Amino acid sequence: MAFDYDLFVIGGGSGGVRAARVSAQLGARVGLAEEYRMGGTCVIRGCVPKKLMVFASAYPDAIEDARAYGWQAEAGSFDWTAFKGKLHAELDRLEGLYRANAQKAGVTIHDARAMLVGPQRVRLASGEEFTAERILVATGGRPFVPGKWADLPVLTSNEIFHLEALPESILIIGGGFIACEFACILSGLGVKVTQFYRGAQILRGFDGEARGHLAEMMRERGIDLHVGTDPVEIEEAPGGLRVKDTGGHEQVFAQVMFATGRVPNTQDMGLEDAGVVLGRRGEIVVDEQSRTSAPGIHAVGDVTDRINLTPVAIREGQAFAEAVFGGKPVTADHELVASAVFTRPELGTIGLTEEEVRENEAVDIYAASFRAMHSAFAGRSDRVLMKLVVSRATQKVLGCHIVADNAGEMIQLAAIAIKMGATKADFDRTVAVHPTMAEELVTMKVPVRTFP
Ligand code: NDP
């Protein structure tokens, strides 16, 4: 049977575009459908606009620091409208690049929602249908608002980039990446931020000491962070939304943002009818080669709910294309993936946490908490945390956790060494770069704790 396409990709985000582009470069005839904007969550309503907002939010502190360093500087006020205009112009530019690069590689883009109407057939919202030998689902995820609050005029990370004006106050619900990042961003931009997290400490799954350190830093920066707290009632009220929490307190916030996780975009796509098995959270179940349970249907990125990070989706898309159209037996590597939470200060992390290993193997914990030179001079109370989790048996560095300005940049470099299997002795024989914060990683001589 002659197919319209060798590959049809559903979703024009990081994973889908990479897979489409590389497959086309390897000679495949590729179609791609995107219902919203090319670039997906990362470019349009995630990493990119978020990071630009992180940059914007850092200026008040920078100006305060400038004064401490002898400059006569005034912060003035933040013009959200002007910033937002530039932000969206930049997103338009990047979207254009994504589109152009895919087209240059030979991908045919259909600006429409697509669904499966059989294992090798897709239908666009326009009614047009195409056959394809293989289909790749890369539809990502979307913010989830718990059902009982879903009908209220609350925000998610989707709406935050489109606000008419910055609110005077906001309640952010959640303790994950997005909640913590936006708590810091909005606080930096002058919004009075309250954050509720239902658990005992923010950023579940990260290293305990790093979580505690960051929570303290966030509070010091003025974020009213309440752990063990959840809303029990939210109702519209003059001036915004009145929220009653599990502690019995009531307060009115101009806006409420839910950052309570994301769910895979798998609804109403004809996946199950095409034989694709979904997991408990609606994610597409795939094997290590990103194959679903239906022959010829593959899936990459957040829709598979493996490691929901842009660079991972890109690796999965690349591996899919190289394996299927390049004949190389490659798979994406999900081991030792570094990541950063772009809070202020940032949290950079790779590998195992102290909590993950200390029950199972003998480990030595090296950690240093100190005031960085820049902050100390500026009179800031900020402290940096540098931490290594080291296996006593192999001496390998199993985990590295950094809470510091620019920890995202630092962990990227530490990740190379750790991925290569560096031991503590390798760190120790690396001469420090002085004066830096990161030099602490190679100068910690004595463990602060040992297990057992
Ligand atoms: P996360 O899974 O990181 O966090 C969700 C948070 O919401 C958790 O604190 C969770 O609590 C809480 N929560 C979930 N359900 C409820 C509920 N019903 N009521 C109250 N609280 C609830 O999701 P995010 O949306 O923040 O981010 C999604 C993913 O996107 C991240 O996991 C990450 O992979 C990626 N991301 C990466 C970024 C980066 O690399 N810098 C930035 C932003 C996102 P609990 O812990 O108790 O379950």
* Residue 134 bridge partners (DSSP): 7
| pLDDT value, residue 118 | 85
Instruction: Take atom 7 of ligand 1 and give the residue whose Cα is closest.
Output: 260
Which atom of ligand 1 is nearest the CA belonging to 199?
47
Q: Cα of 440 to ligand 1 centre, how many Å? A: 30
Q: Cα of 356 to ligand 1 centre, how many Å? A: 19
Separation of alpha carbons 329 and 323, rounded Å: 5
- What does pLDDT average to over the chain? 97
DSSP state of 54: H
* Residue 252 bridge partners (DSSP): 242
Question: What confidence tier does 174 reach under pLDDT thresholds 50, 70, 90?
Answer: very high
Q: Which one-letter amino acid corresponds to residue 143?
A: P
Tens-digit pLDDT profile for residues 403-439: 999 999 999 999 999 999 999 999 999 999 999 999 9
| pLDDT value, residue 237 | 97
Instruction: Take atom 18 of ligand 1 and give the residue whose Cα is closest.
Output: 146
What is the percent of the chain with per-residue pLDDT over 90, rounded to a whole number? 98
| pLDDT value, residue 78 | 97
Separation of alpha carbons 183 and 172, rounded Å: 7
| pLDDT value, residue 299 | 98
Nearest residue to 308 via CA among 237, 205, 444: 205
pLDDT for 1 beyond 80: no
pLDDT for 186 beyond 80: yes
pLDDT for 229 beyond 90: yes
Fold of 147-260: FAD/NAD(P)-binding domain (3.50.50)
Q: Quote the tokens at residue 378.
A: 């500026």
Q: Cα of 144 to ligand 1 centre, how many Å? A: 10
| pLDDT value, residue 75 | 84
Give me the mean pLDDT over the 357-361 stretch.
93
pLDDT for 119 beyond 90: no
CATH of 339-451, one of 3.30.160.250, 3.10.28.10, 3.20.190.10, 3.30.390.30: 3.30.390.30
pTM confidence score: 0.97
Residues with catalytic annotation? Answer: 434
Tens-digit pLDDT profile for residues 146-155: 999 999 999 9
CB 196, CB 260: distance < 8 Å: no
**In the chain, which segments carry CATH 3.50.50.60?**
5-141+263-325, 147-260
Which atom of ligand 1 is nearest the CA belonging to 408?
41
**In the chain, which segments carry CATH 3.30.390.30?**
339-451
Tens-digit pLDDT profile for residues 52-65: 999 999 999 999 99
Question: What confidence tier does 86 reach under pLDDT thresholds 50, 70, 90?
Answer: very high
Instruction: Take atom 41 of ligand 1 and give the residue whose Cα is closest.
Output: 341
Pocket of ligand 1 (CB under 6 A): 146, 173-179, 181, 197-199, 204, 230, 259-262, 308-309, 339-342
Fold of 5-141+263-325: FAD/NAD(P)-binding domain (3.50.50)
Question: What confidence tier does 109 reach under pLDDT thresholds 50, 70, 90?
Answer: very high
Dihedral (Cα; 109, 114, 115, 121), 10-degree rounding: -40
